[in-house]
Each structure stands twice: as C-alpha cells, then as structure tokens.
C-alpha cells in the first residue's frame, strides 16, 4: 500500500497536480455555546467514536460533552475531592473504547469516565504530575508524556514518557530524555511543554504502529521517529523543510516578567544548563493523523518578519513528506488576523487541539484580547 500511495503521488505530480489541504468551518463557539451559555477557556478537546466530543474549560474546570453538531448533551465534571470529583484537570484523553481519561494533578489521580456510568479513580501518581499527552498502543496499554511537577524528583528523573497498563498501573521506568529530542538547542518538547503552564499541550506527537512520531516544539524541519522494537532507544529522522533558525537567544540581562514575555514574543526554559530565554520563531503547532492514514503537521514559521502557517503532509508510514503548503486561513480563521506582534516577529494565537476520526480539526483562540472561541473545521486533501 505504501508503494502504491507513493506511486500515485509521483504520477499526479508528474502531470502537474499538487496536494492541497482544504479547510471548511462546520460550526464554532464564539464567547458562548449554542444554547447561549457563556463559554470558558477551551484548553483540551478529545472526541468519541460517534463524532461527539468533550471540551475541557480551564477557568471553570468544566468537562462538557457535545454531539457532532455542537449541541451540549452532557456535563461530566464535579468539583471536589470525592469519588469522580476533580480539583484541577491536567489532561483529558478518549481512548479506543470511548473511555474518557482525566488526570487531576492536585489529587494525584487518573479518573476513567464513561457516559452514564460511575467513574473510577486510580491514584497512580506519587507526586504531582504534569501529564501533557496520553497515547494508546495496539495492545490497549498507554504511553503518558509527563514530567515531575517540582522538587528533586524533577531533576533526578528526566524521562519524558512512561508506560501505563490497560488496567492503569503506571510503570516507574521511563523512556526518551529531553536531550534525545533536542541535541542542538533548547527545542525539546520537554523544555517547552512539560514545564509550562496548563495552557500548553503536547499535541506534536502521535503513535504509528506503536512507534512514537515526535516534532520538537521549536521546529527545525526535522521529525523524529522513536521505534517500539528498540524500546524507543533509537530513532530516525524525517527531513521536511528548511525554515531557518527556530529561535534566537535573548541576550538582555533584565529580568523577564509576564508582560515582557507576552509583548515581545519571548519564551523561557529551565534545563541542565540553567535558565535560558529566546525569541521563538519556528514552532510545531500540532501533528495529527487523518482517517486515510496520512499525517499532517501544522508549523509556525518566520516569513518576512511575520509569522506564517505551514502545513506538511507526510505519508502513512511517516517515511517522507508528500507536500508543504502555506495556509492563509484555516476555515474562517485568517492567519493574518490571528498574529500577535512581537519585537522580532509575530506569533500565531491559535491552538490546534485535535483531529477526530472524521477529519475534523478543533482549533481554539483565547487570551487577553479575545473572547474564548472554538472552531470545528473539516479537513480534506485534494489534488489540483
């Protein structure tokens, strides 16, 4: 099948056809839900097999379920410390059995929820986790991307990913260190995402035949594939496009505060070499698989002192890049209207959360100058 796909692409390109990603907004929430209820800050989205989806609203710690048309049909979350109750949600994930997994990093637990059923709490964490993604393997077990919350354990255990059995037993053994993802600079997914706030999600990784496909957060045009057969010790590199330097060191010695970071487009990391700051240019925004098998990767790049949105299309086995395209808009969202200007260049204020089994992309926007929004956008790959 792989060779037939590649042959088809070669044939279409040879007669002047190109791959194009088409985007069409199906519906959207702008400040309020369809029933008029005020909308909270949309942080995570995950979907069920029937096309319904769950939205996590950070400011109200809410989990709401919507049907495929966007109609509110259920509310799953309750605040508190009792069975099934939640204090501070860290991550949500719907697995292959339509079971919703919710990590509460304050109560050190993972709750498994099914609609119209009682939830089950699993107190599997010894210290506060920072779970940034959950992936399910073919045998039903899971891989959690997580980082110790604070203290000496964070320095002693730099592994990014941990195994969890299908009955929610968490292994002490971890795989892949931050240095494996970023050998030339501070672009590792762990540095940027794992130690960040709850607004930052790890959507730049997916599983492919139980291998891990990873796009470093500060994107240098390389995607890494860590192989399951070697217990994720070895990896190979997919070269996509040369977008230039992913970042520039911020050399000013004045202390960084939130206002400076927001106004100038600066990010900050802490690693073995100490705290470093930089202007972030090229950045991975999301790595997703379509139901046809192809992989799409959204990338923020620097172009003429502004930000641009590129989309890369990879084949089903992540062996090669089939096409790269600049997007002027995603659905009804024009990129130029969603760029925040920094001192070096702008950066895109859109959050790419999830692509469901119907190739629907969930994109949110929120911040000081925006009301919270969630856009549900149909994706289609066509040839010209």
The count of other CB atoms within 10 Å of the CB of residue 22 is: 9
Rounded-to-integer distance, Cα 250 and Cα 252, Å: 6
What are the CA-CA distances from residue 377 to residues 29, 66, 151, 274, 320 (Å)?
A: 12, 15, 41, 41, 26
Is 314 inside a domain boundary? Answer: no
**Helix, strand or coil, per DSSP, at residue 37:** coil
Is 345 inside a domain boundary? Answer: no
Rounded-to-integer distance, Cα 290 and Cα 5, Å: 15
Rounded-to-integer distance, Cα 215 and Cα 226, Å: 11
pLDDT at 68: 95
Q: Reduce the secondary structure of 95-146 to three states and give it as a string.
A: CCCCCEEEEECCCCEEEEECCCCCCEEECCCCCCEEEEEEEECCCCCEEEEE
Domain of residue 139 covers: 124-199
What are the CA-CA distances from residue 107 to residues 80, 87, 123, 147, 166 (Å)?
A: 10, 7, 8, 16, 21
pLDDT at 158: 65
As separate numbers, helices (DSSP H) first and strands (DSSP E) second, the chain gives 5, 31
Is 185 inside a domain boundary? Answer: yes
β-strands 120-122, 109-113 pairing: antiparallel
Q: Which residues contact 380 (CB under 8 A, 6 or more apart)?
A: 21, 22, 24, 359
Is 78 inside a domain boundary? Answer: no
Q: Are 321 and 287 in contact, with CB atoms under 8 Å apart? A: no
The count of other CB atoms within 10 Å of the CB of residue 121 is: 19
- pLDDT band, very low/low/confident/very high, at 244 (cuts 50, 70, 90): confident
Number of domains in the chain: 1
Rounded-to-integer distance, Cα 73 and Cα 53, Å: 10
pLDDT at 5: 37
* Residue 120 main-chain phi, psi, to 5 deg: -120, 130
Most confidently predicted of 71-85, 143-157, 267-281, 324-338: 324-338
Q: Which residues contact 112 (CB under 8 A, 6 or more apart)?
A: 99, 100, 101, 102, 119, 120, 122, 168
Rounded-to-integer distance, Cα 284 and Cα 300, Å: 6
pLDDT at 329: 95
pLDDT at 166: 94
Q: Which residues contact 382 (CB under 8 A, 6 or more apart)?
A: 19, 20, 22
Q: Are 331 and 25 in contact, with CB atoms under 8 Å apart? A: yes
Burial of 381 (0-12, 13-18, 19+ CB in 10 A): middle
Q: Where on the phi/psi map is residue 33: left (φ > 0), alpha (ψ -120 to 50), or beta?
A: beta
- pLDDT band, very low/low/confident/very high, at 172 (cuts 50, 70, 90): confident
- pLDDT band, very low/low/confident/very high, at 332 (cuts 50, 70, 90): very high
Alpha helices in the chain (DSSP H): 2-14, 152-156, 178-181, 189, 258-264
Question: H/E element holding 238?
Answer: strand 235-239
**Per-chain mean pLDDT for the chain:** 80
Weakest-pLDDT range from 18-22, 89-93, 296-300, 322-326 = 18-22
pLDDT at 16: 35
Is 165 inside a domain boundary? Answer: yes
**Helix, strand or coil, per DSSP, at residue 179:** helix
Is 336 inside a domain boundary? Answer: no
Is 4 inside a domain boundary? Answer: no
Q: Are 349 and 336 in contact, with CB atoms under 8 Å apart? A: no
Which tens digits make up the pLDDT trace of 93-133?
999 999 999 998 888 899 998 777 778 889 888 777 778 78
The count of other CB atoms within 10 Å of the CB of residue 100 is: 20
Is 150 inside a domain boundary? Answer: yes
Which tens digits make up the pLDDT trace of 57-97?
988 878 999 999 999 999 887 788 888 788 888 889 999 99
pLDDT at 25: 97
Rounded-to-integer distance, Cα 306 and Cα 336, Å: 9
Who wins on pLDDT, 125 or 377? 377
């Amino acid at each position: 099948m792989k060779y037939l796909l590649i042959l088809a692409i070669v044939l279409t390109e040879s007669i002047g056809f190109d791959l194009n990603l088409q985007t069409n907004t199906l519906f959207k929430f702008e400040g309020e839900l369809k029933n008029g209820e005020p909308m909270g800050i949309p942080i995570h989205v995950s979907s069920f097999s029937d096309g319904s989806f769950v939205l996590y609203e950070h400011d109200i710690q809410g989990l709401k379920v919507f049907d495929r048309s966007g109609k509110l049909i259920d509310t799953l979350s309750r605040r508190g410390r009792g069975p099934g109750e939640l204090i501070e949600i860290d991550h949500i994930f719907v697995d292959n059995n339509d079971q919703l997994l919710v990590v509460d990093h304050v109560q050190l637990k993972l709750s498994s929820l099914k609609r119209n059923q009682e939830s089950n709490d699993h107190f599997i964490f010894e210290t506060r986790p920072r779970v940034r993604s959950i992936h399910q393997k073919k045998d039903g077990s899971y891989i959690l991307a997580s980082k110790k919350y604070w203290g000496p354990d964070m320095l002693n255990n730099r592994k990014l990913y941990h195994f969890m059995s299908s009955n929610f037993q968490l292994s002490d053994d971890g795989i892949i260190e931050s240095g494996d993802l970023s050998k030339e600079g501070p672009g590792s997914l762990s540095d940027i995402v794992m130690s960040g706030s709850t607004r930052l999600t790890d959507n730049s990784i997916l599983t492919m035949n139980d291998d891990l496909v990873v796009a470093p957060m500060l994107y240098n045009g390389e995607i890494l594939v860590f192989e399951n057969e070697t217990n994720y010790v070895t990896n190979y590199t997919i070269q996509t496009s040369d977008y230039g330097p992913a970042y520039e060191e911020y050399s000013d010695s004045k202390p960084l505060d939130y206002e400076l970071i927001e106004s100038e487009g600066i990010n900050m990391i802490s690693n073995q070499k100490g705290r470093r700051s930089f202007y972030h240019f090229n950045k991975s925004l999301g790595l997703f698989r379509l139901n046809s098998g192809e992989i799409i990767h959204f990338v923020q790049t620097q172009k003429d002192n502004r930000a641009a949105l590129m989309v890369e299309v990879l084949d089903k086995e992540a062996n090669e890049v089939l096409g790269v395209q600049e997007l002027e808009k995603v659905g009804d969202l024009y990129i130029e209207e969603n760029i925040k200007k920094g001192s070096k260049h702008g950066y895109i204020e859109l959050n790419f959360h999830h692509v469901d089994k119907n190739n629907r992309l969930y994109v949110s926007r929120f911040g000081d100058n925006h009301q919270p929004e969630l856009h549900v956008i149909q994706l289609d790959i066509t040839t010209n």
